[in-house]
Homo-oligomer: A and B are copies of this chain.
């Protein structure tokens, strides 16, 4: 039944050999890997204006355009840099791979840890703000906003468990809806403003402040706020192996398209905000105000823009769902996280990572009661740390290898490294006391944990691996078995176990623990009637703790073993088909086994006897 439910929810299993058809095309890869970056334009422009407007008032729009230009410049540098990364890393060139390959293990893990934290935050923040968009449209849903957020995360989880192809179709459509409607708005808005000059000269919402000198600090603060527009660019280069062949070419196309879209949408929204002199209002977003200015308060297009914005915010989480499991699978292959994350589930998705992301982000949403203001400061420091490490890694690669046009390429990646490093410092400094400090503590803790896990795997591998002269080990087999067969009553189950024990060829000891003299006497008589001549060892359990006494006995016998002797405990166990009848029987053999297995040189055999019912 559990199996049926599973295939109903996530579909039937897919064969490993069918994996090629489960990969991204450019058309469906773009929305999945770009939704995070594209969704950020829904608030990046606003984040800049929040910083500028209270200080500069009507004089804000000039600096706004210059800051937007800087961010777009940074985007272009990153795009060129990452195109080079994709060329060099056909198996996925996320920051983790690039940094660990060129800078070493620890920088690689720092990049991985930063990016993982950021992806978890992406899911929590974007789904929470998508829900906030829904509840501001339908205030009667407000009391249930945590539940709605969790339901959305669960839906995304299920979609991603269904596999790459289905999730890209499921979640690609809303992203395209958003892209198309916002591009339409930008074109119409620009035409209206630049050709027909239909713009308000002075917006009453904007304060008329004295034209101050624009301070460096203010610009940097606004810049760091706007940098959220750049999160998600990383995803494409990490996801190269998920593209259809030729993977690298497809990935580079998607990356270029992504950059183009961010440029158009982010630049367009900023330009419209400047042209229409949009103020910052607490209860209505900048994008919504632009839509009202262009289409009117109750127009269909205004509602389309609002609706698709809510959708894209939720979809942004999808980039994390596509990318974090990939990253975890790479870490798992290298032994830095549990190996389970490296294996694909029934639908070829990395189900372990998807489920982990579901759990952690849901916990975050519940702990923070679905409040974005508490989560946002933790966001986007991580992504700039990983950008810097990735670009730095590429720079070092060119400088070290000196292959091809290395000077030119090193320049691009070096520029990327410097600008992202500077941005990272600006962002971390601006957000430090609001919560970024927590991320800066978490990253080293995660790195230490991953190193610890790797050390554990190494130790296990070293312990298990067979030395060069391996074939000789097979000859070192135990010469003799010492067999302990516990018995509490003489019945068919015991006789079956005894029969089996006799085939094992070793010394057999029948072992009984007495808690009741009358029962023990009866057992002795019954045993004699079997006419077998193995010794019946009887031990008293004055405190009725049968299991403890048995374990002590096995431990004692085990310690008496000779070299190359093995102790075998044969446990008769009767099996009842009807599960609830098991409650009527004191079946301790599973529990016993998990204790005995911790003793060296003890083999535990379970001999089932199936009860006819």
Which A positions have Cβ atoms within 8 angstroms of B? 13-17, 338-340, 343-346, 453, 456-457, 459-460, 463-466, 470-471, 473-474, 476-478, 481, 490-493, 495, 498-500, 502-506, 515, 526, 529-532, 542-545, 566, 568, 573-577, 581, 583-586, 590, 593-594, 597-600, 602-613
Contact = CB atoms under 8 A, between A and B. Distances in A.
B606 A593 contact: yes
B600 A529 contact: no
Give the most central of A506, A581, A584, A598: most B CB within 10 Å.
Answer: A584
8 contacts: A339-B586, A464-B492, A466-B492, A471-B532, A474-B530, A477-B503, A575-B597, A600-B610
B503 A491 contact: no
A433 to B, nearest CB: 34
Contacts of A585: 339, 460
Contact of A16 (B498, B515, B532, B599): B515
Given A15-B543, A465-B492, A530 B470 contact: yes
Contacts of A590: 590, 593-594
A356 to B, nearest CB: 12
Give the most central of A345, A503, A612: most B CB within 10 Å.
Answer: A503
Given A465-B492, A491-B466, A503-B478, A605 B603 contact: yes
A606 B481 CA distance: 15
A588 to B, nearest CB: 11
Contacts of A574: 460, 464
A490 B463 CA distance: 12
Given A493-B464, A503-B566, A603-B606, A338 B612 contact: no
Given A500-B566, A504-B504, A598-B610, 4 more contacts: A16-B515, A463-B612, A478-B503, A503-B505
Given A481-B503, A608-B598, A15 B529 contact: no
A305 to B, nearest CB: 44
B463 A492 contact: yes
SS of A interface (majority): mixed
A16 to B, nearest CB: 5
B605 A474 contact: no
A459 B598 contact: no
Copies in the complex: 2
A334 B17 CA distance: 60
A542 B612 contact: no
A31 B598 CA distance: 49
Contact of A607 (B453, B481, B603): B603
A291 to B, nearest CB: 48
A504 B504 CA distance: 5
A438 B591 CA distance: 40
B544 A343 contact: yes
A471 B345 CA distance: 52
A594 B460 CA distance: 26
A165 B544 CA distance: 19
A5 B304 CA distance: 63
Given A339-B585, A464-B493, A478-B500, A471 B346 contact: no
Nearest to A506: B503
A605 B608 contact: no
A456 to B, nearest CB: 6
A490 B503 contact: no
A590 B589 CA distance: 12
B577 A598 contact: yes
B498 A545 contact: no
A606 B457 CA distance: 22
A474 B606 CA distance: 18
A613 B498 contact: no
A586 B340 contact: yes
B453 A584 contact: yes
A474 B497 CA distance: 10
A417 B606 CA distance: 54
Given A481-B503, A503-B505, A600-B610, A531 B464 contact: no
A606 B597 contact: yes
Contacts of A504: 503-505
Given A492-B464, A503-B477, A542 B15 contact: yes
B499 A476 contact: yes
Contacts of A505: 503-505
A478 B493 contact: no
A474 B604 contact: no
Given A543-B346, A602-B608, A610-B600, A478 B466 contact: no
B465 A477 contact: no
A610 B609 CA distance: 29
Nearest to A16: B542
Nearest to A496: B473
